[in-house]
Structure 1
Amino acid sequence: MPASAPLVVMLHGFSGSGVQAESDYGWDGLAESGKFVVAYPDGLGRAWNVNGEGCCGRPGREGVDDVAFITAVVGDIAKNLGINPAKVYATGMSNGGIMSYTLACTTDIFSAIGPVAGIQLNPCQSPHPTSVIHIHGTADRLVPYGGGQGFSVINGASVPQVDAFWRNVDQCGAPAVTTSGPLTTSSAGCAEGRQVALITIDQGVHEWPPFATRVLWEFFAAHPR
């Protein structure tokens, strides 16, 4: 592995684990061919404290500082493996996707994030300019595409609202929209080479789509700091 390899932090969903995420989402083979590092941290009690209403499990109840934990994970990997600080990325499924938004709102170490079936719960008062690619199904009942209360979140914003928020943060132009089968992609070019993209899956449910891992990596690789 090159001493200045990119790093992808893969955050599992609620009730998941690092081992489960490594097994289910297909990152390892892609990392081997793409010469990048993937980290699979474990949230306490199989969840992440995203500091949002009604979320999430033991870390939320106990006030666990998962922002500090994940930041320390990145720092430890950087110290021991010598990763490229301009190529550090975060992705996550569900609760992990929500956590990736929290990281973009509270740290400046990630060049891009890629939430899958997650949403931004917190008021993001000090967002850091970050490229964003969000993947979400319209029939997701746990984290509703249209916002509001689902089985997993309370009072989340809608996915299009969050997309528009980050286009404003990143000083983007008007998005170009294309549709291919059930997938509609909205993509906006932004200041300093950043990009904000949303892939909407018509009637997609709460899951990690088969295409997601490769699409996320291609987006990350194209958007260093």
Structure 2
Amino acid sequence: MKLRIKWPTVAAAGALLAASFLVTDAPAAAQPAATCSTTSTGKTIEEDIGGRPYLLFVPPGLSGPAPLIVALHGGQSNPAKFEGESGWTGFASANKVIVAYPRGSKNEGTDKWAWEFARNVGPDVPFLRNVVGEITGKYCVASERIHFVGHSNGGQMTSRMACDASDLIASAAVWAGAKGAWDTSANECPTNRPIAFGVMLNDNDPVIWQWVAEQHRDHWREMNDCGAEHSESGPGVLRGQRFDCAAGTQVVYRLYDGPEDVTKAHDWPAGDRGADVRNRMWALFNSNPLP
């Protein structure tokens, strides 16, 4: 039997709260090099910007510019943990995609980090721009195929990046991610264009309840001026929706039948469920490059 845990009893919910501090000058992202490398990193390597690390995997077999996925861990987590949970490195190897796992700025304990997702605060937007800039300055990245994915608090940061960096990001998707406390109305999202977005979660997630995810979905429906709704199905999908939007973008929502162990319902899914989530996100990305 599935049990619904109330918000205050879940320690992970604390990962959704952010302390705020102002940033005055955002550093510019690095420009792509005149020549770029398709050489594989062989394995995931650690890079850093100003002492702040991110993990990077460049797959073997690249013959030209490749898509880039920037994968943001949840609260009280770290890049290595999220790499192991999310399955994006194996996916990237099979599909010839470059993937990066940056680290959040908020220290929440020993090797536990989170993101400053609230609008107009924190160092994370310029840092993530610089991560993309550093990668595109060295490796062959298709500039129209830079995509963000996020889990939980990383999903909130992904939502902020979709608003604050729509010039950079082609499309984005989250697992168990709320839209963020910074975004109380569409007018506060400064995106300068419609951007395709996906929202997915388990039906018994004890941290991100269904109405919270639906609120996030509806934000992007409004931002994209979406109209027609189409039903989708998939392994364990209780409710699948695809909304066609005015500028040709799409918004996708998937509610999955969560695990019997409710303490695992907020986790990034593993096995066949995880593969379905990655594949659906990837299909959204393939259909929605940067215009």
In the TM superposition, 1:37-76 aligns within 5 A as 37-44=98-105, 45=107, 46-51=113-118, 64-76=122-134
Shift of 1:161: 2.4
Shift of 1:179: 5.0
SS in 2 for 1:86: strand
* Aligned mate of 2:238, from 157, 177, 183: 183
Task: Report the counterpart of residue 198 of structure 2 in structure 1.
Answer: 133
Structure 1, unaligned runs of 5 or more: 53-62, 147-157
Normalized per residue, the structure richer in strand is 2
Give the 3 Å change call, closer, same or farther, for CA 197–76 of structure 1 in structure 2: same
- 1:160 equivalenced with 2:221 (yes/no): no
SS in 2 for 1:92: strand
Give the % identical residues: 29
Measure, in 2, the Cα distance between the counterparts of 1:12 and 1:194.
Answer: 26
Q: Residue type of the partner of 2:190?
A: S
* Aligned mate of 1:120, from 179, 184, 201: 179
In the TM superposition, 1:142-153 aligns within 5 A as 142-146=207-211
Task: Report the counterpart of residue 27 of structure 1 in structure 2.
Answer: 88
Which 10-residue stretch deviates more, 106-115 or 162-171?
162-171
Deviation digits for residues 115-153 of structure 1, max 9, x if unmatched? 11011122243234211111112322222222xxxxxxx
Which 10-residue stretch deviates more, 166-175 or 75-84?
166-175
Give the 3 Å change call, closer, same or farther, for CA 179–217 of structure 1 in structure 2: closer
Shift of 1:202: 3.8
Which 10-residue stretch deviates more, 73-82 or 198-207?
198-207
Larger CA Rg, structure 1 vs 2: 2
Give the 3 Å change call, closer, same or farther, for CA 10–199 of structure 1 in structure 2: same
CA contact (8 A) 1:2 1:35 kept: no
Task: Report the counterpart of residue 58 of structure 1 in structure 2.
Answer: none
Shift of 1:3: 3.5
Measure, in 2, the Cα distance between the counterparts of 1:82 and 1:164.
Answer: 35
- 1:207 equivalenced with 2:267 (yes/no): yes
Task: Report the counterpart of residue 195 of structure 1 in structure 2.
Answer: 250
Shift of 1:182: 4.3
Shift of 1:39: 0.4
SS in 1 for 2:226: coil
What TM-score, normalized by structure 1, do the two folds share? 0.83
Give the 3 Å change call, closer, same or farther, for CA 2–222 of structure 1 in structure 2: farther
SS in 1 for 2:243: strand
SS in 2 for 1:6: strand
How many pairs align? 205
RMSD over aligned Cα atoms: 2.0
Give the 3 Å change call, closer, same or farther, for CA 28–191 of structure 1 in structure 2: same
Deviation digits for residues 25-61 of structure 1, max 9, x if unmatched? 1111211121110001111321110017xxxxxxxxx
* Aligned mate of 1:104, from 137, 140, 162: 162
What TM-score, normalized by structure 2, do the two folds share? 0.65
Which 10-residue stretch deviates more, 158-167 or 178-187?
178-187
Measure, in 2, the Cα distance between the counterparts of 1:182 and 1:189.
Answer: 20
CA contact (8 A) 1:3 1:81 kept: no
CA contact (8 A) 2:237 2:254 kept: no
Q: Residue type of the partner of 2:289?
A: P
Structure 2, unaligned runs of 5 or more: 1-61, 108-112, 260-264
